């Protein structure tokens, strides 16, 4: 074998090993990131955690359960998976409804403290379990991308359940972390006129950006080659890529009002992500379509990931009430 052929074979062998190792690492990352929580269906554990953080919630949840007001509902998604949500009717809702969407490896239980904000305002509340979370079926976490399609179906359920005497609903979608990414992804779709505004709390710009940050933060690794390989595998296995799942691009198509909330000390979804999100959608149209108004943004001082409400419950409640009350009447 000539010297040139030996070099060619060596380079090809090294490249083949590199590709195999890259895709092996990518497969591990994909499984690590999108595997559902082992305790996903342990609602007792999740209630204990929630009560530990928000002790006052026990009385409210107990009163709802005693009145049989907090109800379960299930729908079958087009892919055949059975998805779960809980809901409660408001005391003076008149069609006003909040759909509150949980974050990564959480469930509807974690959103009950935020649901209470809306219930105290008299709203109907609906809290879905996303795909592969809580009591919803599913084998993989969808990172808010395919979840957007599921949440749109829950909007249809809410429209049917909660219509007022004139057949109307007025809906706010409120999400935290991956739930915030979900509602931002929803915002870029063609939605019914019943959707009046959004609240996003500490969502990420894209799955690519978030996974790139986590890869560096947890493992000290660059994006290349592992993230590239994992994204290709995600496309082959689940039908979407990390770059495709980008709330920041969905927001560019949205003209519905949105409140942006993010902790200034968030190291999990870096605080600076909120600024490209806001700049992608800084204004909304007035109901008559003639005027543009600036959306609201609140950076909560010193807050880590998804703890803005926990750290500033009174201010958080007041800001949400004031913002949402302008559009859901």
Average pLDDT on 241-256 reads 96
DSSP 50: H
The domain boundary, picked from 184, 215, 244, lies at 244
Provide the mean pLDDT of the chain: 94
Whole-angstrom distance, CA of residue 33 vs CA of residue 211: 8
Task: Please state the φ and ψ torsions of residue 124, each to the nearest 5 degrees.
Answer: -70, 150
Whole-angstrom distance, CA of residue 326 vs CA of residue 96: 12
Q: Are residues 187 and 252 in the same domain?
A: yes
Q: Are residues 46 and 170 in the same domain?
A: yes
Res. 2: pLDDT tops 90: no
Q: Are residues 232 and 97 in the same domain?
A: no
pLDDT digits (tens, 9 = 90+) for 59-84: 999 999 999 999 999 999 999 999 99
Return the CATH number at 153.
3.40.50.1820
The domain boundary, picked from 223, 244, 265, lies at 244
Q: Are residues 52 and 185 in the same domain?
A: yes
CA atoms within 13 A on the CB side of 8: 5
For the chain, what is the domain count? 2
> What is the token pair recorded at 44?
């007792």
Domain extent for 60 = 40-206+245-325
The domain boundary, picked from 215, 244, 273, lies at 244
pTM: 0.94
Res. 321: pLDDT tops 70: yes
Whole-angstrom distance, CA of residue 185 vs CA of residue 162: 23
Q: Are residues 239 and 256 in the same domain?
A: no
Q: Are residues 1 and 144 in the same domain?
A: no
What pLDDT score was predicted for residue 292?
82
253 CB-near residues (< 8 Å, 6+ apart)? 187, 188
Confidence of residue 24 (pLDDT cuts 50, 70, 90): confident
pLDDT digits (tens, 9 = 90+) for 134-163: 999 999 999 999 999 999 999 999 999 999
Q: Are residues 3 and 145 in the same domain?
A: no
């Amino acid at each position: 074998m000539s010297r040139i052929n030996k070099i060619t074979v060596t380079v090809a062998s090294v490249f083949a090993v590199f590709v195999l190792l890259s895709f092996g690492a990518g497969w591990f990352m994909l499984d690590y990131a999108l595997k559902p929580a082992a305790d996903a269906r342990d609602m007792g554990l999740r209630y204990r955690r929630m009560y530990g953080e928000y002790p006052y919630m026990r009385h409210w949840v107990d009163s709802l359960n005693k009145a049989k007001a907090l109800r379960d509902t299930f729908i079958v998604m087009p892919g055949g998976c059975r998805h779960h949500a809980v809901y409660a009717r408001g005391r003076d809702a008149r069609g006003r409804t909040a759909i509150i969407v949980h974050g990564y490896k959480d469930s509807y239980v974690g959103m009950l403290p935020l649901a209470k904000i809306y219930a105290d305002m008299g709203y109907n509340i609906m809290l879905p379990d996303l795909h592969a979370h809580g009591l919803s079926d599913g084998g993989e976490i969808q990172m808010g991308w395919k979840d957007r399609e599921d949440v749109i179906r829950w909007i249809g359920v809410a429209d049917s359940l909660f219509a007022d005497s004139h057949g109307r609903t007025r809906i706010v979608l409120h999400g935290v972390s991956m739930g915030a990414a979900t509602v931002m992804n929803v915002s870029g779709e063609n939605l019914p006129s019943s959707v009046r505004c959004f609240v996003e709390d500490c969502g990420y710009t894209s799955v690519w950006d978030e996974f790139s940050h986590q890869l560096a933060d947890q493992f000290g690794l660059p994006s290349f080659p592992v993230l590239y390989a994992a994204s290709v595998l995600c496309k082959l296995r689940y039908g979407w890529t990390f770059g495709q799942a980008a709330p920041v691009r969905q927001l560019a198509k949205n003209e519905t009002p949105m409140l942006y909330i993010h902790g200034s000390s968030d190291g999990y979804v870096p605080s600076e992500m909120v600024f490209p999100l806001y700049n992608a959608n800084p204004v909304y149209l007035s109901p008559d379509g003639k005027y543009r108004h600036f959306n609201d943004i609140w950076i909560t001082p010193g807050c880590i990931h998804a703890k803005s409400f926990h750290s500033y419950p009174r201010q958080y409640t007041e800001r949400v009430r004031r913002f949402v009350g302008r559009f859901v009447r």
